[in-house]
Amino acid sequence: MKFVRRHLLTAYAIAAFAYLLVPIAIVIAFSFNDPGGRYNYTWQGFTLDQWRNWDGVPGLRDAMTLSLEIAVLASIVATVLGTLIAMALVRYGFRGRGGTNVIIFLPMATPEVVLGASLLTLFLNVSVVTFGFTTILIAHIMFCISYVVVTVKARLIGFDRSLEEAAMDLGANEFTTFRKVTLPLIAPAILAGLLLSFALSIDDFVVTYFNAGSEVTFPLFVWGAAQRGVPPQVNVMGTVIFIVALSFMVLNVLFQRRRESPAQA
């Protein structure tokens, strides 16, 4: 019984991860499919051709590259801007807090189609704008900020200020305190905000569609391709990104392990 109790949580967590990742498993599996036609619906045979010919679909690689560039940049900028807002909201009293909160919630509540269309209208009224990378990036930063604010705010609310005060009592100046005490403690929240922004950006369709000009991001490409059949190379690309991200984190873990070992010795 104790065995069950102790491992119930783990079992649940594994089930939850399975739920999250089973579709990914299917995507990965179908990247090895050998479909005769344009569609990739039924399993027809194992092949490595799609992997060998991973770049075989015109425009796919460019679309993915564009999406990644924008996602990385947008999530970093949005995280910085959002974290600052979160700090201001939690640590300071100031006029207009309620209004600020509303401004933060509104973008999340605005339906994408009107969000994208009205942003497009803004761009059209400012004639210097070139549609493409810039406009997409601006839009993505805009809708990601709110998510970062809410995420980081939650962490800052529970933050124990006495740790900072203790550090300063021990002679650390403001900057050192921030760098060595505050930042590490809110780092998980900042990372979470970054990840959420990245996810939002790399998956966005509607707002991007309006403001992309003739540029094509990965979601736009896939949505368009779906008209006539999504090529397996799309699965290949998704799999590659997934594996790269995982490997990155695995390396991160191993690297940390190395650093810790000498200390343990």
Partner 1 sequence: MREQLTREELFRRAAFGAALVSVPGFAAACGSSKSSSSGGKNVLAKTLRFSNWPYYIDVDEKTKKRPTLETFKKRFGVDVRYTEDINSNSEFFGKIQGQLSRGQSTDRDLAVLTDNERFLSLMIDKGWTEKLDKDAIPNIANLVDVQKHPGFDPDRDYSLPWQSGMTGIAYNPDLTKPITSIDQLFEDKSLKGQITVLNDFADTLGLVLLANGDDPSKITDDAWKSALDRVKAASDSGQIRQFTGNDYTGPLSKGDLKACVAWSGDIVQLLPDNPKLKWGIPKDGGMIWTDNMIIPKGGDVYTASVYMNYVYDPEVAAKLAAGIAYVTPVKGAKEALAKTDPETAKNELIFPSDETLSKVHLIDPDALKNQSYNEQWQAVLGA
Partner 2 sequence: MGFFHRHRGLTPYLLLAPGLVWLAVFFLVPLGFLAYQSLQSGTFDVGYAFDWAWGNYWDALQRYHAWLLRSLTYAGLATLLALVISYPLAYWIAFRGGRWKNLLLVMIIAPFFVTYLIRTLAWETILADQGPVVGLLRDAGILGDNGRLLATSTAVVAGITYNFLPFMALPIYVALEAIDSRLIEAAEDLYASRVQAFLRVTLPLSLPGVVAGTLLTFIPAAGDFINAQLLGTPKQAMIGNVIQSKFYNLIDYPGAATLSFTLMAAVLVLIAVYVRAVGTEKLTG
Distance between CA atoms of residues 22 and 78, nearest Å: 30
**29-58: contacts with partner 1 (CB under 8 A):** 35-39, 41-42, 44, 55-58
Q: Which is nearer to partner 2, 20 or 170 (CB)?
A: 20
What's the helix, strand, coil split of the chain in %, to 5? Answer: 75, 0, 25
Distance between CA atoms of residues 200 and 129, nearest Å: 24
Q: Does 41 bind partner 2 (CB under 8 A)?
A: yes
Q: Does 138 bind partner 1 (CB under 8 A)?
A: yes
> Could you say which of partner 2, partner 1, none residue 35 binds, taking C-beta under 5 to 8 angstroms by partner kind?
partner 1
Q: Does 256 bind partner 2 (CB under 8 A)?
A: yes
> Could you say which of partner 1, partner 2, none residue 45 binds, taking C-beta under 5 to 8 angstroms by partner kind?
none
Q: Which is nearer to partner 2, 48 or 102 (CB)?
A: 102
Instruction: Answer for the pair 213, 130: CB distance below 8 angstroms, yes or no.
Output: yes
Q: Using the rule CB under 8 A, which residue among 3, 6, 93, 214 binds partner 1?
A: 214
> Residue written as tokens 């796919």?
60
The single-letter DSSP state of residue 126 is S
Q: Does 203 bind partner 2 (CB under 8 A)?
A: yes
Q: Which is nearer to partner 2, 87 or 172 (CB)?
A: 87
**74-113: contacts with partner 2 (CB under 8 A):** 80-82, 84-94, 100, 102-113
**155-174: contacts with partner 2 (CB under 8 A):** 155-159
First to last CA, the chain: 38
Instruction: Answer for the pair 115, 160: CB distance below 8 angstroms, yes or no.
Output: no
Distance between CA atoms of residues 246 and 15, nearest Å: 19
Instruction: Answer for the pair 200, 143: CB distance below 8 angstroms, yes or no.
Output: yes
The single-letter DSSP state of residue 249 is H
Contacts of 153 (CB under 8 A, 6+ apart): 86, 89, 90
Q: Which is nearer to partner 1, 68 or 81 (CB)?
A: 81
Binding site for partner 1 (CB under 8 A): 35-39, 41-42, 44, 55-59, 73-74, 76-77, 80-81, 84, 87, 113, 117, 120-121, 124-125, 127, 130-134, 137-138, 141, 173-175, 177-178, 209-210, 212-216, 220-221, 223-229
